[in-house]
Each structure stands twice: as structure tokens, then as C-alpha cells.
Amino acid sequence: MIMSRPAIILFGDSITQQGFSSATNSPGWVGLLSNAYTRRADVFNRGFSGYNTRHAVDLLPTVFNKDMMMTHPNSSTNTLFVTVFFGANDASLPTGEREHNQHVPIEEYEQNLRIIVADIIGNKLEEEQKTPIILITPPPLDEKAWDKYCHEEFDDLSPRSNEQSKLYGERVKLVANDMGCSIVDSFSLLGGNNGVSAYAECLEDGLHLSAKGNELLYEGLMDVIIRDLPHLAPKVNEDDSTGIALEGAQWKDLC
């Protein structure tokens, strides 16, 4: 039986599912995070392509349960932290009778996020335990590039807008503030406030992240971990007073 390490759970849509590598086969944000926590924690990718928060709520019983939330010395639970990264699909524009409409109204989106956070918090063994949660806003959207990609790949459109992504991101920040979660503002990190020329190179197809976008998201996530959860950041030097150390002794100490 393989000895278990503390877990990091990444819950999201296709930007999480595809997070181990980008389309150019360079490391994605999930792959970079996994590398940072090598021999320290096991990263569980629970990304579901095409899913919105309505779908995510239905998945909660299978993704999160008390067996995943057992105690670990460095955190209050066996799960070091959870990221929740939904909204790119919720923020798609309502298109009437179009089949497979992923749009979720913004008020429902906010409520779904609150349900997700509350469920994760509720999966604890003791009253004082609380699994750290990091919410991630939807990234910016290159509308022309995304329309072009959808037309070429599917001969159909999945209308979205950068402004809509920003609005949904503001709800993520609101939920994070109200419920004591950390926040990674991927919209700002990737330049969403600075015009399409600033963020187009961060997107592979107008929506999903390119190599640069993945790197920026990873760096932003690590900055938040170091700032808000320093005891859960990878311990780089033996002299560091806090952080997650490598499992096992150094090989030189064994020879």
C-alpha cells in the first residue's frame, strides 16, 4: 500500500482539467503546482471540462467527503488546501434556444459558489477545523479569437465577452471576502483590465490558457499561498521556520 501524503484538491472546469500542460506541451498551472509540491503533497486534479457551478454543486458528494479531510500536522486537515475555479462557462452569454447552453445567471452563480465553499468547510472532523479554500476568478476572454476557434472546431459559436467574465469575477471576490477564502484574481493577473492586446498572448484559443497564461496563474497562486498560508507553502530551506518539508530524510543523511 502506498503511503498517503496530504492532499491538494483542485476543483474546476476545463482550465483545471487541462492544467497539467498547455496546447504547446509546456507545463500548465496544475503541473507547475504539482512540481512545487513534489514529495510534499499529492495534487488531485478534479477538473471537469464544460462544467459550470450548477454541475459542480451536483458533484460535491463525490469530490469532497470526510475521508479526504482527515487530520494532518501542518494544516488542520489532511487536505492542505482546495482551489475552486469555475466561472468561464457560467459567464457564457445566454443564447435562448441554443442546445448545450452553459450560462448560469450571475445571482445563481454566486449562490452556487457559496454552496460549494460551505460544503468544503463542512467536511471536517472537528468543529474548529477548516480547510483553506482559494477561489480563482474567471480569466479574461478574447472574444474574436474564441469565436474563430469555435467556428473552426465546432462550426458553431459559444458567445462570451470579456466584460461578462469580469463581472462574474467580482462575485467570486465577494464570496471570498464573505466566507473567509483566499482569492486569486486571474482576470487581473492575465491583464484583463488592460485591453485585448495585453492578454491575448495569455490565452491559447481566446478562453483556455497558453503557456504564458498558465505560468502567470501559477505564480499568482503561489504568491497567495505564501502570503495567506505560509505554513502550507513548500519549505525550500531547512532553516525555514514554516512550510511543508520534503517527505523522508535527505539521501546524504542515509549514506
Q: Model confidence over 38-54: pLDDT tens digits?
A: 999 999 999 999 999 99
- What mean pLDDT comes out for the span 92-102? 73
The pLDDT, as a whole number, for residue 63 is 93
- Contact criterion met (CB below 8 Å) for 215 and 202: no
The pLDDT, as a whole number, for residue 66 is 65
Place of cell 500500500: 1
Active site residue 208: yes
Active site residue 223: no
pLDDT score of 126 more than 60: no
State the Rg of the chain over Cα: 19
CA 167 – CA 163 distance, rounded (Å): 6
The pLDDT, as a whole number, for residue 251 is 76
Q: Model confidence over 203-226: pLDDT tens digits?
A: 999 999 999 999 999 999 999 999
Return the percentage of the chain with pLDDT > 70, whole number.
Answer: 89
The pLDDT, as a whole number, for residue 155 is 72
Catalytic residue among 92, 103, 186, 208: 208
Sequence letter at residue 53: T
Active site residue 205: yes
pLDDT score of 75 more than 50: no
The phi and psi torsions of 237 (rounded to 5 degrees) equal -115, 145
Closest residue by Cα to residue 43 from 198, 170, 168, 225: 225
pLDDT score of 69 more than 80: no
The pLDDT, as a whole number, for residue 68 is 57
- pLDDT band of residue 76 (cuts 50, 70, 90) is very low
Catalytic residue among 42, 119, 147, 205: 205
Catalytic residue among 14, 76, 161, 188: 14
Residue 58 cell numbers, joined? 451536483
Q: Model confidence over 145-202: pLDDT tens digits?
A: 998 988 887 777 778 999 999 999 999 999 999 999 999 999 999 999 999 999 999 9
Identify the H or E element spanning 133: strand 133-136
The pLDDT, as a whole number, for residue 77 is 47
